[in-house]
Structure 1
C-alpha cells in the first residue's frame, strides 16, 4: 500500500503553541501509513525537534515565511510552496497559523492538492486591529476558506467566531481540542535556580512578550501586589516569573527596574523546559487579549496549578471558574488582584483547584485523543448523508 503524503505548513518555527501542536501531530502519525513533510521558516526549535524524530520527517525551510505582511516575501513564499506541492503531489496539505494558512491553502488549491486542511490556532482577526486591516484579513480568510476541505478550530469559541464572520461554509468547520503529553513530574528546579523558598508564593506565566499576551498588565499587577503585600502572619514572600521572549522584552525590563521589582519579578526568556518549570508555580496566570486554546494553560492544569486568566477565546473551555481557577474579563486589574489574593490566602483552595484542573486536562485534553481525531480526519471523508468512507491509497 502506498503511503499517504502529508505536508504541514506553518509560518514560523520558533517556540510556540502552534508549533508544539504541529510537532505532536506529526510525531504521532504512523510511519507505515504516512510520509510527512513540514514547511516553515528556518532556524527555530520546531526544525530541531522534527529532525530527530525516528520517522524521518522531511523539513523544507522557507526563509520568506515571515509573520508580518511583506508582498515580495509573501509572493516568493507562495511560489515556493506551490512548486513544492506540484513537485511532490501531496495527498493532503495541512496549514497552521494565519500567514501560512492563507498562503498554504492558496498554493495547495493552485497545485491541485486533493485535501486542504487548516487548523485555526486563534483567528488572526480581532478588535485591536484597524477596520481596514480587519477587512483585509476577513476577505483573505474567506478566500482561503472557500478552497479548504475542512477548517479545524481548537475551541468552540473559534468555531462560533468563524461561522459568525462567514470565514468558510458551515459544513467545513469542526472542532479538535489541543492535547499534550504530561511533562516529567520533577519539582524544585525553578525554586533552586532562583533561590526561592518552599513557603514563598510563585505566580507565573509562560507567554510571548508581545501585545497579545499583555505582559505589562501582569507587571502592573505584580507592582501593586508586591508594594502592597497584604500578607497574613507567617506567609512567605511573593514572586512573579515570566517565561518567554518577544518584542516587548525591553519595555518589561524597564518597567521592572523602574518599579523597584528586581529580585521579585524574573524574566527568564524562552525555555524549552517551561512545562517542567511550571510545576514550581503556585498559581499560573495568562492575561491575553485574544486566544485560541492556549497550550500553556493545559500545561499548567497538568501540573496541578490553579489558573487565573482573562476569559477570551477558548480559555473558558479550559478553566472552570471557581473550580479549577478564576476568570476575569477585559483585563480588570482589581478583579485579577482579588482572584490572586484569594488563592494566596488559601493553600487548600489552591491544591483543590489544581487537582480538579489536573483531572480535567487528563480527561479532555489528552494527546492521544487529539492525534486520533487528526488521523481520522486524514483517512476519512464525510458525505452528505453522514456516511464515512475510508480513503485507501494503493
Structure 2
C-alpha cells in the first residue's frame, strides 16, 4: 500500500511528533509511506533521518497544487492536522483518493465548510473518547479512537547534571522543582497556571520553583501576571528547548492547566518517565489522568494548587499514581499498536474501493 501523510504545520508540537512517530512505525511495518510537509519546518528536518520520501511545500497553495495533482499515486491520504484535512478534502474531486483524518483537538466543529470537509473524509479518527463524543454530536459517524503513542526519549544530558546546572543558573538552592511543557496560548490557559502557582506559594511558602517551557501569544501577559502576583524568582519562563524531555525528568510534579485538550501527549511522557501529574480535566485529560494522577476542574487554580502540593508531599500517593500511570501508558500507548490499528484501517478503505 502507498500512504501519504499530510502535516504542513510550521511548528513542532504534539501533532508533529505523532506524525513523526506514525511515519517511523509504518516504515518499520514495511508500509510505503511519504510525507507532504512545509519546507524547512522541524518535522521536515526530523523526517530526513527516515527512509521516507518527503514532498516539501512553501505554503498552502503549494500543498493544494500537490494534492490536486496526486491522483492515482496513493492508496490513502492521511491528514494529521485540521489544515491537512481541509487541504485534502477540498482537493478530493481532483485526487479522488480515500482520506483519513486524525483529530487531536476537543473543540466542537461548526459551520457549513466543516460539514462539507467531514463528508469528504472517508474515516475520521479521534485520539481520545472525549474527541470522539464531540464528533458524534456533530454528526460524524463511527469514529474509532486510536490514542497517541509515546516512545522513550534518550537522555541528552544526565538528569543529575542538568538539575545541578539549572539550580545554579536560576539560583534555586534546594527548592523542589515543578513544571509544565505547554504553549502559552489560549486553550492551554497559562494564566490559570500562573494563578495556581501563586496559590501553591500561599499554601506552602517558598520551598519550590516552577519552570514553564514553551512560548506563544500569551507569553507577555503571563509574565505580567506573574510579576503582579510576586512570582519573580518562583515562576520561570524557560521558552522553547529542544531537550525539553530532559528537563521533564527533573520535575517533581508535571502540571497541565489546559482549558481544551485533545489528549495531552506530554502527559504520556510524564507517565513514561515516572513523574506524577496534576492536571485540569479538560477534554481527553480527564480520561487520561483519572486514577493515574490528580485532577482539578478547568479554570480552578485553587484545586490545581492543592493537587500540586499533595503530589509534592504525599509519598504513598506519588508512588501509587506513578505505578498506575506507567503500567497504563506502556499497555495502551505503544507505537506498534497504533500502527497496527492504522494499517488495518487503511486496508479496509483500500478493500472497499475494489
Same fold, TM exceeding 0.5?
yes
Q: What's the CA shift string for 1:205-253, capped at 9, x where partnerless?
A: 1111111111121112222323x2525xxxx821111111112222233
Equivalent residue, structure 1, for 2:195: 220
Equivalent residue, structure 2, for 1:306: 276
Q: What's the CA shift string for 1:16-59, capped at 9, x where partnerless?
A: 00101110010112378433222223322111111111x1x222
Equivalent residue, structure 2, for 1:353: 321
5+ unaligned residues in a row in structure 2: which ranges?
A: none
List structure 1 runs of 4+ shifted beyond 6 angstroms.
none
TM-superposed deviation, 1:190: 4.1
2:181 is aligned with 1:203: no
C-alpha separation in 2, matches of 1:92 and 1:17 = 23
After superposition, the Cα gap between the structure-2 partners of 1:219 and 1:189, relative to the gap in structure 1 and judged at 3 Å, is farther
Equivalent residue, structure 2, for 1:175: 145
Equivalent residue, structure 2, for 1:5: 2
The structure that is helix-richer by fraction is 2
SS of the counterpart of 1:380? Answer: helix
Equivalent residue, structure 2, for 1:159: 132
Is 1:78–1:107's contact at 8 Å kept on the other side of the alignment?
no
Is 2:183–2:215's contact at 8 Å kept on the other side of the alignment?
yes
2:166 is aligned with 1:194: yes
2:241 is aligned with 1:248: no
Equivalent residue, structure 2, for 1:73: none
Is 1:10–1:101's contact at 8 Å kept on the other side of the alignment?
no
C-alpha separation in 1, matches of 2:102 and 2:42 = 20
Aligned length: 349
Equivalent residue, structure 2, for 1:61: 56
Match of 2:64 among 79, 101, 107: 79
Is 1:189–1:277's contact at 8 Å kept on the other side of the alignment?
no
Q: What is the 5 A alignment of 1:5-154?
A: 5-30=2-27, 33-53=30-50, 55=51, 57-65=52-60, 76-77=61-62, 79-86=64-71, 89-113=73-97, 115-123=98-106, 125-126=107-108, 135-136=110-111, 139-154=112-127
5+ unaligned residues in a row in structure 1: which ranges?
A: 66-75, 127-133, 383-388
CA RMSD across the alignment:
2.5
Name the TM-score, length of structure 1 as normaliser. 0.81
Equivalent residue, structure 2, for 1:364: 332
TM-superposed deviation, 1:199: 5.4
Name the TM-score, length of structure 2 as normaliser. 0.89
TM-superposed deviation, 1:194: 1.6
Equivalent residue, structure 2, for 1:286: 256
After superposition, the Cα gap between the structure-2 partners of 1:304 and 1:31, relative to the gap in structure 1 and judged at 3 Å, is closer
Equivalent residue, structure 2, for 1:71: none
